[in-house]
Structure formats: C-alpha cells, structure tokens
C-alpha cells in the first residue's frame, strides 16, 4: 500500500503541516526530486499544486510524461493544478502576501468540495530573481506560511535555485522553514528560527 506521506524520493517522509525549503543547483536535480514528489502524490490520489514560471512547469510536465503520467486527464480533472507564479504571488506585478494566503485557503476549500482530504504544494520561487520583494518582506511571508501550514492537511515545498535568487533571499528561506532539502539530503533545518526577524546577528550565512 502506498504511504500517503512518502515524499517519493529515496526514503524521505513528511508530516501533514510541514513547510519545507528545497535548495537546488540545477533543473535536473530539481526535477529528479520534485517530479517524484508530485508523482507520488498523484498516485496516492492527493491533489498536487505546482506553482512556477513557465519553464519550470514545462519541465514538470516533461518529467511526469516520462514516467507515464496521463497529464491531460490529471489536469482536466483538477487533481494536478499548475499555476503560474504571476497568478499565485503577484497582482499587477506587485507581490501581495495577503492575496497569496487567501488563494491558498481558497484552493483548500475547493479540495474539500472535490473530495480531496490532503494536498501537496510545490512552489518554484525562481521568479524572485527578477522581481524580488525585500528579504524582510519575504521572510515575514515565509514565516507566516510556516505558521499557517502547520495546522492544515497539506505539505508545502518551496523550491529555491541557488543560481537564480540572491543570498539574502536564501537566508530568509533558511530562517523560516523547519525542514530543508539541500541537494539530495533531507534534514531538520539547523538555520530555522521560530522568530526570524527578531534574531540578532548577521543575516548572511551563505
């Protein structure tokens, strides 16, 4: 029987309510791990949400097709939702955290109506390299996500490309996710801070 909380890559597992930071060096590494994460959720009949720029979404579709996924059926049924970063994060080109949180809540409500009890969310935030909010604003948003996700029937993986986002944004990510994937390692995040913006000392650790 398929373990509903199997990550899908190696023997990684998660708990519902986990907020995970995944840092990748390249697209191939990202798809090897995150393609398996999404595919495992689909096999477990969980709703899977992929939020990303077009290039990343195309790579996910290719990865799922390579392992035999019926993308047309999965997307038309709504089990697989692929949402652009603009729709999820931005309004008229501006990042609005409250709007993003409302959209996440709306998707969860739709889950219940459609009969899905759990949800996997994978967000590729490489768009931050082009349209970055301030690191402080992003840190507050990610810290709020950690609190909000913790009591909901979902797992959320925020994906960061080391080549596309700034060091300050990566530091914000590491401060606000209790669990991290670094390359192919899955571990409790030693850089996680429960109150990240109140912490003293230098912010740059990468």
CB-count burial class (<10 Å; 0-12, 13-18, 19+) for 159? buried
Average pLDDT along the chain, 206 residues, taken 10 residues at a time: 89 96 95 96 96 96 90 94 95 90 94 95 90 89 95 96 92 96 91 71 36
pLDDT of residue 198: 54
Tokens of 203: 């912010």
Measure CA 38 to chain center: 11
Q: Other CB atoms closer than 10 Å to residue 177's CB: what's the count? A: 26
Helix axes 135-149, 97-114, angle to 10 degrees: 30
Is residue 113 in some structural domain? Answer: yes
Domain range enclosing 139 = 19-194
Is residue 85 in some structural domain? Answer: yes
Domain count across the chain: 1
H-helix or E-strand spanning residue 52:
strand 47-52
pLDDT of residue 205: 32
H-helix or E-strand spanning residue 24:
strand 19-24
Is residue 45 in some structural domain? Answer: yes
Q: What is the CATH number of the domain that holds 178?
A: 3.40.50.300
Is residue 182 in some structural domain? Answer: yes
Q: What is the CA radius of gyration of the chain?
A: 16
Is residue 200 in some structural domain? Answer: no
pTM: 0.92
Is residue 3 in some structural domain? Answer: no
pLDDT of residue 1: 59
Q: 3-state SS of 57-90?
A: HHHHHHHHHHCCCCHHHHHHHCCEEEEEHHHHHE
Is residue 206 in some structural domain? Answer: no
pLDDT of residue 194: 82
Is residue 202 in some structural domain? Answer: no
């Amino acid at each position: 029987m398929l373990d509903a909380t199997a990550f899908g890559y190696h023997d990684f597992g998660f708990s519902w309510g986990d907020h995970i930071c995944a840092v990748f060096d390249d697209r191939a590494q990202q798809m090897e791990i995150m393609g398996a994460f999404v595919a495992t959720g689909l096999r477990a009949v969980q709703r899977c949400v992929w939020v990303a720029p077009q290039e990343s979404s195309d790579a996910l579709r290719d990865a799922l097709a390579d392992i035999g996924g019926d993308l047309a059926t999965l997307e038309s049924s709504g089990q697989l939702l692929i949402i652009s970063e603009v729709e999820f994060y931005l309004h008229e080109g501006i990042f609005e955290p409250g709007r993003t949180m409302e959209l996440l809540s709306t998707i969860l409500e739709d889950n219940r109506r459609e009969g899905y009890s759990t949800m996997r969310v994978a967000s590729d935030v490489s768009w931050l390299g082009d349209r970055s909010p301030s690191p402080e604003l992003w840190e507050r948003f990610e810290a709020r996500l950690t609190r909000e996700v913790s009591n909901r029937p979902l797992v959320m993986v925020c994906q960061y490309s080391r080549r596309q986002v700034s060091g300050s944004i990566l530091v914000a990510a590491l401060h606000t996710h209790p669990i991290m994937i670094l390359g192919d390692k899955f571990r409790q995040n030693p850089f996680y801070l429960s109150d990240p913006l109140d912490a003293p000392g230098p912010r740059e650790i990468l």
